[in-house]
A and B are shown apart, each in its own frame.
Chain A
Amino acid sequence: MIATYIFGRVLSAVPTILILTFIVFLAIHLVPGDYIDIMLGTQNYLTDEQLSGLYKQYGLDKPFVVQYGIWLKNLITFNFGTSLRTGQKVSAMILEKLPVTFELAFFALFFSLVFGIPLGITSAVKRNRFGDYVVRVLGLIGLSAPTFWIGAILIVAVSGLFQDYTLFGFVSFQKDMAKNLQILLIPSLTLGLMLAAQIMRMARSSMLDVLSQEYVKVAKAKGVSTWKVIYRHALKNAMIPVITTAGIQFGYLMGGTILIENMFALPGLGRLLLQSVNQRDYPVIQGVVLFTGVFIVLMNILVDILYTLIDPRIDLR
């Protein structure tokens, strides 16, 4: 039953992904200035003959529909092409950046849940009392300030206060765990702050929702203490929308967080996308968009499945 469901969902995702990659391909080819233009810049001394040679060499002389066709054809054999800019394999580039973005997304989500859920619950339980106001304003500040602004301020503050703190020079988790975590702490905190506010709002409203249910009222009437009610009954049900939000957010984070990665000089997918868009490195753009598109869709499916595990009453359809 669940297997057929997953199969159906995955199958229906295929046209979505195809539409996505096609529109991206179309859009980026319609933007003036192609790879060759940007490579040569304004120091372009080439003759027309040399130029057409270059276009041919990079396969950019063909009509764009043909180029897309070739990309699709190669995709069937899991060949994602090579970067025009560096000559590296697109799959290798994505795999190289993936762990960075994954770690960043993971820690950001971790922070957002750690801060967001307790704050949201507190806010709901103390609804319309002073505590609620304080928590909400504090939490919403995270959601309200631009992340790149907070990021820049944190960089200045941390590097000013802690002269020995290593903020830059990313190393992988396997290579140097302590340094890796130290470097990722501030950027994931910056992102997590923003997410925490969303999680907090979600947790607050779904908690309020659950607290107004009959069975909670009954439990309370029986004299069970408020926190016990929350822990025993309300929490689990209130978590469903929170998990949805978290899951979908995770999907988006995996798409790379361009501004944060740029600010903290992290070699992740977001920066790869930004760079390849700036350079019109078509195969890399396609690869990143395909990858993140698939990831976002899969994440949505996973969230729906998690739903049922937490609350079997929800029917998958």
Chain B
Amino acid sequence: MEWKRLRRKFAKNPLNLISVVVFALFLAMAFFPQIFTQFEPNRMNSAVRMISPTASHIFGTDQFGRDIYSRVVHGVRETLSIAFLSIVLACVLGTALGVISGFYGRWIDQIVMRLMDAMFAFPTIILALFIIALYGASQKNLIIALGIVYTPIFTRTVRGSTISIKQFLYIKAAKALGKRDLSIMLKDVLPNLTSVLIVSFTTNFSTAVLSEASLSFLGLGVPPPTPTLGGMVGQGSNFLLSAPWIALFPGLFIALIVLSINIIGDGLRDVLDPRY
């Protein structure tokens, strides 16, 4: 019943609807890239190098004769999965730390929060370099690196909400009844965090897409030939004057993905936040 009302409220805004459709399209690309493309993303072809957009190669080709459109579509898959999984990781870690910190307070809170403060100021590039250096450049390690970067953001948000939830009468009652801490945290605190987490998740999901792009641009991304949107912009940016299509289209796709997630995020917040 509640969900139905929220859904109607969300759908009232045409912008939200458009964004959902756009994002769904990207998701479809991520899950079934073959449907959208006719070329192998990594197939080189010296006969069609560096051609500008035409009917058969709608986004043109790169210096190896690879079809940019196919690479962009497959890049969506890589980029989205890296961003999504890293935020899932950050969300799980951050929620755990945030709930514990907010629930127990005192010295546990102090330790966790000082650690998070330190991580806030920790340069992302050093962290990414560190993880990739120790375990090699791969999709998995990029996810871990970004996951750690985003953990303090979730920790802070969740901790704040936990502290206010703790004041609710029924939590105090549960405590008085001798319910175990873990059970209170899981059954009573966590469900109340849902809306906060949904909003936080979408906002950070979109920035994670951009972070993946930045790290790939700095050469700390997924190894070749796997295409990622950020990596493609990075490799193509040298050609921005001589063959602009190579960097323009992947960049545009990043912008569209992030834009649609952002609008959905705003829409969700409007709906979920009782103040609106």
A and B touch in the complex (CB under 8 A): yes
Chain B residue at minimum C-beta to C-beta distance from A20: B118
Interchain CB contact under 8 A, B263 and A152:
no
Chain A residue at minimum C-beta to C-beta distance from B241: A156
Q: Which of A89-97, A101-109, A139-147 contacts B (4 or more CB under 8 A)?
A: A139-147
Interchain CB contact under 8 A, A145 and B255:
yes
Judge whether A23 is part of the interface by a CB distance below 8 angstroms: yes
Q: A146-B214, A148-B214, A156-B240 are in contact. Are A201 and B266 (CB under 8 A)?
A: yes
**Number of chain B interface residues as a range:** 35 or more
The distance from the CB of B206 to the nearest CB of chain A, in whole angstroms, is 7
Q: A136-B15, A136-B266 are in contact. Are A23 and B118 (CB under 8 A)?
A: yes
Interchain CB contact under 8 A, B121 and A20:
yes
The distance from the CB of A103 to the nearest CB of chain B, in whole angstroms, is 21
A143 vs B247: C-alpha distance in the bound complex, in angstroms? 18
- Kindly name the residue among A128, A149, A297 whose own CB sees the greatest number of chain B CB atoms within 10 A: A149
Chain A residue at minimum C-beta to C-beta distance from B121: A293
A141 vs B256: C-alpha distance in the bound complex, in angstroms? 8
Contact partners of A30 in chain B: CB under 8 A: 130, 133-134
Number of A-B contacts (CB under 8 A): 130
Q: Hey, what's the 0/1 contact readout for B248-276 against A, CB within 8 Å counting as 1?
A: 10010011111100110010010000011
Q: Hey, what's the 0/1 contact readout for A137-165 against B, CB within 8 Å counting as 1?
A: 10011011110110011001000000000
Q: Which of A31, A128, A143 contacts B134 (CB 8 A)?
A: A31
Q: A144-B255, A277-B129, A285-B126 are in contact. Are A16 and B118 (CB under 8 A)?
A: yes
Interchain CB contact under 8 A, B251 and A144:
no
The distance from the CB of B212 to the nearest CB of chain A, in whole angstroms, is 10
Chain A residue at minimum C-beta to C-beta distance from B251: A149
Q: Hey, what's the 0/1 contact readout for B232-256 against A, CB within 8 Å counting as 1?
A: 0100010011001001100100111
Judge whether B114 is part of the interface by a CB distance below 8 angstroms: yes
Chain A residue at minimum C-beta to C-beta distance from B258: A144
Interchain CB contact under 8 A, A24 and B262:
no
The distance from the CB of A38 to the nearest CB of chain B, in whole angstroms, is 13
Chain A residue at minimum C-beta to C-beta distance from B269: A205
**Number of chain A interface residues as a range:** 35 or more
- Kindly name the residue among A24, A146, A201, A208 whose own CB sees the greatest number of chain B CB atoms within 10 A: A146
Contact partners of B247 in chain A: CB under 8 A: 149, 152
Interchain CB contact under 8 A, A259 and B214:
yes
Interchain CB contact under 8 A, A297 and B117:
yes
Q: Secondary structure at chain A's binding surface: helix, strand, loop or mixed?
A: helix
Interchain CB contact under 8 A, A143 and B121:
no
Interchain CB contact under 8 A, B275 and A153:
no
Interchain CB contact under 8 A, B217 and A146:
yes
Contact partners of A24 in chain B: CB under 8 A: 122-123, 126
Judge whether B100 is part of the interface by a CB distance below 8 angstroms: no
The distance from the CB of A179 to the nearest CB of chain B, in whole angstroms, is 24
A282 vs B262: C-alpha distance in the bound complex, in angstroms? 38
A33 vs B126: C-alpha distance in the bound complex, in angstroms? 14
Interchain CB contact under 8 A, B15 and A133:
yes
List residues 190-236 of chain A with CB under 8 A from any CB of chain B.
Answer: 201, 205, 208-209, 212
Interchain CB contact under 8 A, B129 and A144:
no
Q: Which of A136, A277, A297 contacts B121 (CB 8 A)?
A: A297
The distance from the CB of B93 to the nearest CB of chain A, in whole angstroms, is 16
List residues 171-220 of chain B with CB under 8 A from any CB of chain A.
Answer: 206, 210, 213-214, 217-218
List residues 270-302 of chain A with CB under 8 A from any CB of chain B.
Answer: 273-274, 277, 285, 289, 292-293, 296-297
Interchain CB contact under 8 A, A145 and B258:
yes
Interchain CB contact under 8 A, A20 and B122:
yes
The distance from the CB of A65 to the nearest CB of chain B, in whole angstroms, is 18
A19 vs B120: C-alpha distance in the bound complex, in angstroms? 12
Judge whether B12 is part of the interface by a CB distance below 8 angstroms: yes
Contact partners of A259 in chain B: CB under 8 A: 214, 217-218
List residues 223-260 of chain A with CB under 8 A from any CB of chain B.
Answer: 255, 258-259
Contact partners of B133 in chain A: CB under 8 A: 30-33
Q: 3 nearest interchain CB pairs? A: A144-B258, A145-B255, A149-B251
What would be 29 A-B contacts, judged by CB atoms less than 8 Å apart? A15-B114, A16-B114, A20-B117, A20-B118, A20-B119, A23-B122, A28-B126, A30-B134, A33-B133, A136-B15, A136-B263, A137-B259, A140-B259, A143-B258, A144-B256, A144-B259, A146-B213, A146-B214, A148-B213, A149-B251, A152-B237, A153-B240, A156-B244, A201-B266, A209-B275, A273-B123, A289-B121, A289-B122, A293-B121
> What is the interface of chain B, defined by CB distance below 8 A to chain A?
12-15, 114-115, 117-123, 125-127, 129-130, 133-134, 206, 210, 213-214, 217-218, 230, 233, 237, 240-241, 244, 247-248, 251, 254-259, 262-263, 266, 269, 275-276
